[in-house]
C-alpha cells in the first residue's frame, strides 16, 4: 500500500498521508514517497491548488516514527532532519497555494508539515503541538523556525519547551490556523477555498506567495522593492492582460496560467 496517496480533480490536487494504523507517522520511506509525489505536483501545469491531509479520523500526522529515530546516531539524525526539511521546503516553495486540512493530531513532524503549507484549516477535534522535548529532542523539520515566525518567539518557546498540546481554538487564537470547522466539514471547506483559488490567475498567485514568503521579517523598504518587481513582472503575462480586459468588458476572466 502506498504511504502517500495523490488524486486530482478540477485542477485541485489532494495529497493524503496514508499510514492510519500508525497515526500517519513520518518515516524516511514515507518522506521519500512524499518527495516523489511533490515532484509530480511541481511538474503538473494543470494544477492550481493543493490540499494536504491525513488518512483516518484520528490524525493528520502524529509525528515522526519514534521506532525509526530511536536508533539513529548524530550523523544519521542530521540526514533524517535534512530529508524532512528538504521535503517540507518543497511544499513551501511550490508555485501553487497549499492548504493543510488537519483532521486530527498534528504533532511534531505533523505540525511541521502543516506549517509548511500556506494556511491551515482544522477540525474542532484537532490537537497541535511540538512535544519533542518530552523525548529528549527538539523539532528537526523546521518546526522551531516556522512556529516562531507564525506565533512569535515567546509563545513558540513555551510550546516547544513544555511540549504541551493546544486545541484547534487555541491554535486559531495564536494565528496558527486560519479556520476551525466541524470534523466532517474540514475537507469540504478546504476544497471550497481551493476551488476559489483555482479560478484565479496562477502567475499572480505564485508571485503573491513568493513575495510574502521572501519579505516576511524583511525591512519594509526592501520588502517594497521585492513587491514592486513582482508586480511589474506580471505585466508580461497573458493573464494580466486577460484579467484587466475582462474587468473593463464586464465579463468573467479566463486565466490560462501564462
Q: How is residue 77 written as a grid cell?
A: 539524525
DSSP codes joined into one string, 89-154: HHHHH-SS-EEEEE-SEEETHHHHHHHHSSEEEEETT-EEE-GGGGGT----SSHHHHHHHHH-HH
CB 79 within 8 A of CB 43: no
CB 177 within 8 A of CB 121: yes
Catalytic residue list: 112, 132
Amino acid at each position: 500500500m502506498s504511504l502517500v496517496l495523490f488524486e486530482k480533480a478540477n485542477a485541485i490536487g489532494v495529497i493524503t498521508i496514508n499510514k492510519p494504523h500508525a497515526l500517519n507517522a513520518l518515516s524516511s520511506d514515507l518522506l521519500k514517497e512524499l518527495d516523489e509525489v511533490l515532484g509530480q505536483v511541481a511538474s503538473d501545469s494543470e494544477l492550481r491548488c493543493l490540499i494536504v491531509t491525513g488518512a483516518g479520523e484520528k490524525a493528520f500526522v502524529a509525528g515522526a516514527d519514534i521506532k525509526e529515530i530511536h536508533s539513529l546516531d548524530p550523523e544519521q539524525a542530521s540526514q533524517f532532519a535534512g530529508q524532512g526539511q528538504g521535503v517540507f521546503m518543497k511544499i513551501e516553495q511550490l508555485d501553487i497555494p497549499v492548504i493543510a486540512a488537519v483532521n486530527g493530531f498534528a504533532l511534531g513532524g505533523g505540525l511541521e508539515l502543516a506549517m509548511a503549507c500556506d494556511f491551515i484549516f482544522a477540525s474542532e477535534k484537532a490537537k497541535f503541538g511540538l512535544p519533542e522535548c518530552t523525548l529528549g529532542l527538539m523539532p528537526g523539520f523546521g518546526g522551531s523556525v516556522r512556529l516562531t515566525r507564525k506565533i512569535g518567539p515567546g509563545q513558540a518557546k513555551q510550546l516547544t519547551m513544555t511540549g504541551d498540546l493546544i486545541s484547534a481554538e487555541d491554535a486559531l487564537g495564536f494565528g496558527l490556523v486560519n479556520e476551525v470547522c466541524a470534523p466532517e466539514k474540514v475537507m469540504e471547506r478546504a476544497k471550497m477555498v481551493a476551488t476559489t483559488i483555482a479560478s484565479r490567475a496562477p502567475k499572480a498567485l505564485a508571485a503573491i506567495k513568493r513575495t510574502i514568503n521572501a519579505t516576511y521579517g524583511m525591512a519594509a523598504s526592501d520588502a517594497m522593492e521585492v513587491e514592486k518587481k513582482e508586480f511589474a513582472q506580471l505585466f508580461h503575462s497573458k493573464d494580466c492582460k486577460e484579467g484587466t480586459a475582462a474587468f473593463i468588458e464586464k465579463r468573467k476572466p479566463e486565466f490560462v496560467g501564462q
